[in-house]
Amino acid sequence: RMLKQGLQTAHLPIMLLSAHSNRADSMHLLQDALADDLYSKPITDANDFLYRLAKITVAHAHNGFSDITASAS
């Protein structure tokens, strides 16, 4: 939550890793932390994990968040 609320860090894509398998608990955790995605541990499919990580990274880049520090200079 602190990263998403900070002016210098709000643009960072955040993926939570959680041992919670209950969907309701996971959704609450995702919303409470203001994260972009949540992945349940253990990571059993590395390709799926990397795909989802790339997906949120690309989404942030397309929203103009990829280089916020360069535009501030």
Q: Which residues contact 52 (CB under 8 A, 6 or more apart)?
A: 15, 37, 39
Per run of 10 residues, the mean pLDDT along the chain (length 73 residues) is 90 87 78 89 94 91 55 40
Rounded to whole angstroms, the Cα distance separating 67 from 63 reads: 10
Residues 48/68, Cβ–Cβ less than 8 Å? no
Other beta carbons within 10 angstroms of residue 19's beta carbon come to 9
Pairing verdict, β 37-40 and 15-18 = parallel
pTM, two decimals, is 0.69
Rounded to whole angstroms, the Cα distance separating 31 from 14 reads: 12
